[in-house]
Amino acid sequence: MNISVSSRLEGIGEYYFSKKLRELEQLNREGKMVINLGIGSPDMPPHPDVIHTLQQETVHPNVHGYQNYKGSLVLRQAMADWYKTWYQVELDPETEILPLIGSKEGIVHICMTYLDKGDEALVPDPGYPTYRAAVKLAGGTCIPYHLKEKNDWFPDFEELENSDLSRVKIMWVNYPHMPTGKLPTKEVFEKLVAFGRKHNILICHDNPYSFILNDQPASLLSIDGAKEVVLELNSLSKALNMAGWRVGVLCGAKQRISEVLTFKSNMDSGMFLPVQLAAAKALTLGKDWYDALNHQYQERRNYVFELLDKLDCTYDKGQSGLFVWAKIPSTYSDSYELSDAILKNAAVFITPGGIFGDEGRNYIRVSLCSTSEKLLDAVERIEAAFSKNDNQLA
């Protein structure tokens, strides 16, 4: 049979980590026992009360059917309360909140809702690869905007103003930024809202990292007039250790939520109700939960700093999020060379920054989603590999 795949897959390619995990699996079969510091999948469990709620609710006989496409009102109310408590943002749970089966699907939903062939979307470089893939799958064209260390990893608004924006319909932004860990400022948020209003561009803010190693969570929707031009995605994956549960949320004006729901309602049949009710429980957790979580990540980050020192990398200690972003030494041609060398010589996998765009080619990203014991082991492996190779990994 000669069945060709859709042209929409041209230039997409399999997700980098999907391929890399197979390579690591093969190395482990060969006895390498690779320490994977690449992916930001929290390794700690949710709060026990969240798990208990799931267990309790699952035994009820009437919770196993299809659910409301807009999600349970219990969950939407909990999301509204969460936004008011932590971000000082008022949201109507009836009209301005749409639960998602993970925020990653929301990225695709937004692109499919608003982009046609010929439409353009501004995507950050470096940035989450899914933004680029979703734009292309929807038939749109990606227009990278460059984030540079010299500009504190913020958009260069002067450069954007001097570019052709006539076909741009949406702009993807993400602060705290992944992969650089850069925290937002109110001034940058205000500039983003003003930019969207001036050019009739929908600003799509992906906000899953605001609680990690950061004591001042911020939402772009907190800026005056933001609802006119902003859709914000959020997630329970990182801050509440629920990555595998697939619970996210889209927040914005009633009209925008209704438009995205038109697409989403044709893609799934709702989220399992006990998961929604457990997620609602998770959203009631207080400051003690976040403080304890960040205590763990602070300890782990110190080991990552030590690891990066062994590699002669430079980095900003004020980063937030689940990763540490670091500039590689000039002795390596790019991040792929260093990443491959570490994997070969120390059986440690570290993500090359080049997968996030051209601006990341001289950086690496180290995940904090491993125990302190594993991170210490990684430090020792890298130190041993360096000593065998005269301070240069082969």
For the chain, the average pLDDT equals 94
Tokens describing residue 242 = 């629920």
Task: Give the pLDDT confidence score for residue 23 in this predicted structure.
Answer: 79
- Output the pTM of the full model: 0.93
Q: What is the pLDDT, as a whole number, of residue 139? A: 94
Closest CA to 208 of 41, 349, 78: 41
Task: Express each pLDDT in 244-262 by its tens digit.
Answer: 999 999 999 999 999 999 9
- The answer to whether 245 and 100 are in contact (CB under 8 A) is no
Q: How far is CA 30 from CA 23, 33, 328, 393, 394, in A?
A: 11, 8, 29, 21, 20
**Strand 120-125 vs strand 141-146: parallel, antiparallel, or unpaired?**
parallel
CB 214 within 8 Å of CB 176: yes
Burial of 122 (0-12, 13-18, 19+ CB in 10 A): buried
Write out the E strands in the chain: 35-37, 97-100, 120-125, 141-146, 168-173, 202-206, 230-235, 248-251, 314-315, 323-327, 348-352, 363-367
pLDDT-derived band of residue 10, with 50, 70 and 90 as boundaries? Answer: confident
Domains of the chain: 7-45+287-388 (3.90.1150.10), 48-282 (3.40.640.10)
Tens digits of residue pLDDT in 103-143: 999 999 999 999 999 999 999 999 999 999 999 999 999 99
Give Cα separations from 155 to 172, 223, 377 (angstroms): 11, 17, 37
Q: List Cβ neighbours of 194 (8 Å cut-off, separation of 6 or more).
A: none
Q: Are 73 and 93 in contact (CB under 8 A)?
A: yes
> Is there a contact between 217 and 189 (Cβ–Cβ < 8 Å)?
no
